[in-house]
Amino acid sequence: MSLGPVAQFPIDLHSPRDAGQSQGAKTTEPRDMGRTQTSAGRDSSNTSLENLCPIKRCLLLLGAIGLLAGAAIGMWLLVKFLTAPLSDQDSSPLQDTESIPICRDAGEDEPIVTTVPRRVSFRINTGNFLLEVQVEGRPGWLLACHERWNLSLGTLICRQLGYLQLAHHKGVNLTDVKVNDTQEFVQIVLNQKNSIEDMWQVRSSCASGRIVALKCSECGMRSRAARIVGGSDAPLGRWPWQVSLYLNSKHVCGGSVVARDWIVTAAHCVHNYRQPQVSSWLVFAGMIAHVSVQQQAGAAVEKIIYHPRYDDRSHDYDIALMKLTTPLNFSDAIRAVCLPLYRQDFPRGTHCWISGWGYTRPEHVHIAEMLKEAIVPLISTKKCNSSCMYSGELTPRMLCAGYLDGKVDACQGDSGGPLVCQDELTWRLVGIVSWGTGCAEPNYPGVYTKVAEFLDWIYHIIESH
């Protein structure tokens, strides 16, 4: 599928941008190396050639004429041979690899998201939901004492782990949990720096005899592991966070469920459609075919908040949030996707997935009836900004994914939809379909909003609303 905005909504993602795709190199036409015809002067008399000159003289004359003709033919063939490759370039197809400029490997080893070493890491035990903390310089994972524990800290740790909200927390008696004799603990200490990495102190025991159990909002899991240009049909439940955004009864963009009442999409999808037209929007979740839209009621939208720094010319800060009037009922077909971690390394070449109902061919003008999916590898920003690709158009809030030979990409109608990468068993919303030059064009992969750059903004908007 090629992902992007639909034709009647030019603000949609992946609208073709004038990025100088046209070939400006002039082709050299083979010169017409016409041979000069020289004729031997004839006497007006009727005397035969044999009678006018001796045999040896005639042979020399014929030899000279042959040499001149051969030299002329050879020069003409040489010029035609040298100019032929230039004249053939115009007629070769765009997909011909010989006609595609090869980008340098600059930044090939650069991670898409730079990882900064952390002094304190967190995880939640999947079996008993106990909070476990790893402190730099200490082997193994430590249990967290319940002393000085509070709701705000639980919410902060959930967000550090990529979850949107805290679902439940409590103190658990150590007597109810099997621990080794060598088990160590961490206790919260008061500090003025107010940094989550500076508030932990290693202890051999917990004075209260209780440790922290923590459960965050559910996300990033699908019920089963059950095209976009070059993509294929996606079965129901494979991408349960994928939604279709309808404006005035027409599919405009895609989006992703991040909570029961919150949808993440692209700012360009909604920038021109704010209040009072918010009532014209409907969100359809748990569907893979648009024919099913007639058989279900869409979720009404209460608020639309796009990033205040969104630039509709460069597509910088291309992110928006939709708050639903009524929360979604989660099921096997409707679930939330996890947000990325604050510091997470997704190296170039990581295989991620895009999905949506956009055009399945760049020349098509109708959206796909069935939800499509496709794999796209991440491309380093340094390479994507090179002179043979986007020439510096990408900002730090964008990332690239796709193939240098084209063929698989997001296109019109896919804007706002998810680019998800798997982190162990968890699926994370790494990118939002944003823009690109054409659809599936060689050396012009899809450009996505880098969600990791907007985590604080997302959390702030959801808290304040």
CA distances from 41 to 38, 44, 49, 61, 400 (A): 9, 9, 12, 12, 74
Alpha-helical (H) ranges within 259-323 are: 267-270
d(CA 356, CA 371): 5
Please tell me the distance from the alpha carbon of residue 415 to that of residue 3, in angstroms, as a whole number: 6
Residue 18 designated active-site: no
Residue 380 corresponds to which amino acid?
Answer: S
Of the residues 256, 380, 415, 434, only one is catalytic, namely 415
Nearest of 204, 129, 126 to residue 171 by alpha carbon = 129
Rounded to 5°, angle at Cα 244 from 243 and 245 = 120
Q: What does the alpha-carbon distance between residue 350 and residue 145 come to, in Å, rounded to a whole number?
A: 37
b/e string for 61-92 if b means 16 or more Cβ within 10 A? eeeeeeeeeeebeeebeeeeeebeeeeeeeee
Distance set, CA 255 to CA 134, 268, 394, 439 (Å): 35, 12, 22, 19
State yes or no: is 415 an active-site residue.
Answer: yes
Smallest CA-to-CA distance from 381 within 347, 330, 338 is with: 347
Of 318, 386, 409, 414, which is the active-site residue? 318
Q: Active-site residue among 14, 268, 307, 315? A: 268
- Token pair for 235: 């079965």
Catalytic-residue membership of 176 = no
Catalytic site positions? 268, 318, 415
